[in-house]
Structure 1
């Protein structure tokens, strides 16, 4: 899929040319394609689908300043990362609806959802003539749009808990004033979308299309949504359905080495279920442009400069591993030394995605830590541990759940240049369910550290479920003003959205 990034230029199809209605222009035909004349064949429909994928890049862009990216939304709230800088997403103090990074996250999410809804409409409208040569692409495209929309619903629930549920294309301003979703409605819709996507998507794509989502992607993400919903609603049926989805995943396995999941040379590997396809600009990367600029394309890579203090002028707005996550690993666990630089006194210590990377070409690449190393959004290790959790929570076979944990630990032992005895297998004869559940969350932390917000999303859902109290957790923040309140499990909705939408209410506490 990387060699198809030139298709990002097709975002022009989402920009309609405006014409003034003077006597000289009112009867002129439009120059170039319009919505009415585009989407006539498989190639054009495929370009539209690529436009949905493209929006994922906005969540990984630098954005022109230390406050221009959305990474703090999922990285900073947990006890894995802290920052010498003052950031409301790390210390929760002063977090409100004016927070720019939260606003960006919300904006990008709904832009992606709108693109998905747009293409779902076009697929239905144009199916009779647009898929003459490759009729199977209709289902595949619909499955991709549903999957990507569902991923945004999951993320919106993780960040805000409640946000408008938009399932159709909005063409009238009056239709845009939707109310807050309630309880787990965002997850509910994601689960429905992913069930359909799993039926429509292909088992695999051709090599040049590798990286596009498949049936396995939908099964894995649906199972994750079910476990998340089940953990807060305490519904056993969700866990049994999740196990069924996880069991349906085929031809996927753990990579032999842990490091291969974060090495630029092993992207879209046998453990991968969903990655953002980071790449270099066809010309010269410009980290100050977004990638909806068409004359000079902006970033289509992934920014990791918050781990390496790049560019240097971001000052102390970098993220550093906490004492908590350093001490969570056993001495000798390969994941500990791969994920972090433990040299005494080093604050730039997170190395997971920048140890074996490659940079976008041009002046903005290495100096800005603009990488072409794909962020791994969903991988099989995550799925195995979610399956173990579902087994424990549904009162199924504990030894099976422990066996899944041990698969992860065995891979870790074999990931270094030499075999390690650490981490040792968990006792498969353990009979205390709560103990095994804690083992699972410990393993999720060790295995998934510094990735896609896994630690914060896990802490958040457990707090909502009443299993833990985050007010009593030591987040190991460097900020002495740190203070977590119950309402912080949901971030504030953008204030402008709340003010302009009479049907939307701000989250409690903000």
Structure 2
């Protein structure tokens, strides 16, 4: 029987579904002797195909946070990458179509789309399955497809919209679809998901997409399009469910903020959706790994495996200008995610020297958000789940939308809920412009090294003004901005050269 080419079924059958995404429901045994016709025959098969779609979140360029954080934070100048030429280009705002980071983002997001399409198309055809379970599996795949397409369109603009499984007979030279149509499909998928998925899953199924995750992402999609009232409505629908709240308990950490990210508190009520990982070194150095490198990349280089996976690499470090100017005095988000000279990382007991060697950090600072000490079963990887959507961002999105529809006092209240958790005094203003500015100041420190900041500045047309105000190498004139940064109202990343070479029907974005 001829196998399908370049799609999720090929990945599933050839790869044997040897997938492990972290939680029990995503940990599957390898399968063999399968054909396309025999695979989709029962609930177990459907769950395995869905696990493959979840597994796509873990890949480089998807929602394991390495590449997305580089786009979101190297560009604004708050984070430094020590080694990779591709990442140093991003930091210098050199958007090169040959940059492997853009290719990985494009490729891995479409891999996720393909796997979700397989589930959405094939699972409804299964007869030997509980109808409610069947509907929930499809709804989860729709959430994942929407998440992957949102990542694609927010970075690249018009992108090919494919909503079915491709076969070897199909023409793969698809054209770009107008962004408005892509957003319409995303909204439909998320609406379907929100209407079907439960608000919470039991412990056995924790980590799956929920109705609240669909609503949170839907609010972001409306925000991205400037559909303020829709963003308010979706945010309020989520908030009124009463499922999520800011983490207020510091637990065994130095602050409630830090406890949000603790690997020992991964199912806290602030987490709306997260990429799941497992406590094992399985999978080697490639895309099949079960953990991530964020802890190793965060910790000071060479401090030993007793303190950090792989002994620490310190590939990525916070810029000193960011650390020393972005945080208000007493802001617990500073100690909750950053250590500097003479400060101690509580979980490992490691103390930074008063004079920090360049090998530890070229800026003198380390981000600890994803570093929680040694991993007992991992020499290289971290098993910590990576938040994709959390309630603090829901509140910031809600505040921004409220401010735009004239409900500024309520927007300020949402801001102050976040500031209160950080140990700060209330912010007070009735000026919508001041409120918007404060929202983005809060985003900067609340969401540091997570998956959205450049995108938020970009959608508001604020990116250039922001870096001219808050990025020191732009302020002093040592970094000259290219036309693709300064000219468009919305900055698009270049379509990867490799994709243009493979598909003559794709066109490049302007200014590249």
TM-score normalised by length of structure 1 = 0.80
SS in 1 for 2:389: strand
Q: Which residue of 2 aligns with 1:48?
A: 49
CA positional deviation for 1:310: 5.7
Contact residue 264 and residue 357 of structure 1 kept, 8 A: no
CA positional deviation for 1:359: 2.6
Q: Which one has more relative contact order, counting CA pairs under 8 Å at least 6 apart?
A: 1
> Structure 1 residues 405, 471: closer, same or farther in 2, change over 3 A?
closer
RMSD in angstroms over aligned alpha carbons? 3.0
- Pick one of 495, 500, 507 that aligns with 1:498: 500
Q: Distance in 1 between matches of 2:287 and 2:117?
A: 22
SS in 2 for 1:176: coil
Q: Distance in 1 between matches of 2:102 and 2:183?
A: 20
Q: Distance in 2 between matches of 1:62 and 1:183?
A: 21
Q: Distance in 2 between matches of 1:470 and 1:409?
A: 21
Which runs of structure 2 are paired with 1:124-135 in the superposition (5 Å)? 124-126=124-126, 129-131=127-129, 134-135=130-131
Asked if 1:7 corresponds to 2:27, the answer is yes
Q: Which residue of 1 aligns with 2:100?
A: 100
Q: Which structure 2 residue ranges, 5 or more long, are not aligned? A: 1-20, 249-255, 303-309, 342-354, 486-490
CA positional deviation for 1:96: 1.9
Q: Distance in 2 between matches of 1:160 and 1:358?
A: 38
CA positional deviation for 1:360: 7.0
CA positional deviation for 1:45: 0.9
Q: Distance in 2 between matches of 1:315 and 1:358?
A: 13
Contact residue 239 and residue 393 of structure 1 kept, 8 A: no
Q: Which residue of 2 aligns with 1:20?
A: none
Asked if 1:110 corresponds to 2:126, the answer is no
Q: Distance in 2 between matches of 1:319 and 1:190?
A: 34
Contact residue 74 and residue 80 of structure 2 kept, 8 A: yes
Superposed CA deviations along residues 393-444 of structure 1, whole A, max 9, x for unmatched, are: 112x22111111111011111xxxxxxxxx21012xx321111111111111
Superposed CA deviations along residues 308-364 of structure 1, whole A, max 9, x for unmatched, are: 36688998853333413431101211111221113265536233324435537244x
Which runs of structure 2 are paired with 1:207-222 in the superposition (5 Å)? 207-222=203-218
Q: Which residue of 1 aligns with 2:396?
A: 385
Q: Which stretch shifts more, 36-45 or 264-273?
A: 36-45
Contact residue 300 and residue 312 of structure 2 kept, 8 A: yes
Q: Which stretch shifts more, 236-245 or 202-211?
A: 236-245
SS in 1 for 2:243: coil
> Structure 1 residues 254, 71: closer, same or farther in 2, change over 3 A?
closer
Q: Which residue of 1 aligns with 2:59?
A: 58
Q: Distance in 2 between matches of 1:177 and 1:118?
A: 19
Asked if 1:356 corresponds to 2:352, the answer is no
Q: Which residue of 2 aligns with 1:288?
A: 285
Contact residue 154 and residue 225 of structure 1 kept, 8 A: yes
Q: Which residue of 2 aligns with 1:403?
A: 413
Contact residue 81 and residue 316 of structure 2 kept, 8 A: yes
Contact residue 97 and residue 494 of structure 2 kept, 8 A: yes
Q: Distance in 1 between matches of 2:98 and 2:293?
A: 25
Q: Which residue of 1 aligns with 2:268?
A: 269
Superposed CA deviations along residues 144-203 of structure 1, whole A, max 9, x for unmatched, are: 101111111111123222321121111146432222232444333222211111011122
SS in 2 for 1:186: helix
CA positional deviation for 1:39: 2.1
Q: Distance in 2 between matches of 1:245 and 1:304?
A: 35
Q: Distance in 2 between matches of 1:75 and 1:143?
A: 32
Q: Distance in 2 between matches of 1:48 and 1:356?
A: 32
Contact residue 264 and residue 358 of structure 1 kept, 8 A: no
Q: Which residue of 2 aligns with 1:23?
A: none
TM-score normalised by length of structure 2 = 0.80
Superposed CA deviations along residues 269-293 of structure 1, whole A, max 9, x for unmatched, are: 1111100111134xx43542221xx
Asked if 1:436 corresponds to 2:446, the answer is no
SS in 2 for 1:124: helix
Asked if 1:175 corresponds to 2:171, the answer is yes
> Structure 1 residues 322, 154: closer, same or farther in 2, change over 3 A?
farther
Q: Which residue of 2 aligns with 1:294?
A: none
SS in 1 for 2:117: helix
Q: Distance in 2 between matches of 1:97 and 1:137?
A: 43
CA positional deviation for 1:306: 3.0
SS in 1 for 2:508: coil
Superposed CA deviations along residues 446-485 of structure 1, whole A, max 9, x for unmatched, are: 2111112x2211122122xx68646735533599974333
Which runs of structure 2 are paired with 1:388-467 in the superposition (5 Å)? 388-395=399-406, 397-413=407-423, 423-427=424-428, 430-452=429-451, 454-463=452-461
Which runs of structure 2 are paired with 1:455-494 in the superposition (5 Å)? 455-463=453-461, 469=465, 472-476=468-472, 482-485=479-482, 487-488=484-485, 489-494=491-496
Q: Distance in 1 between matches of 2:61 and 2:228?
A: 35
Asked if 1:333 corresponds to 2:335, the answer is no
Asked if 1:319 corresponds to 2:317, the answer is yes
- Pick one of 247, 258, 282 that aligns with 1:255: 247
SS in 2 for 1:82: strand
Q: Which stretch shifts more, 258-267 or 479-488?
A: 479-488
Contact residue 159 and residue 179 of structure 2 kept, 8 A: no
Which runs of structure 2 are paired with 1:137-286 in the superposition (5 Å)? 137-172=133-168, 174-230=170-226, 235-256=227-248, 257-281=256-280, 284-286=281-283
Q: Distance in 2 between matches of 1:387 and 1:212?
A: 24
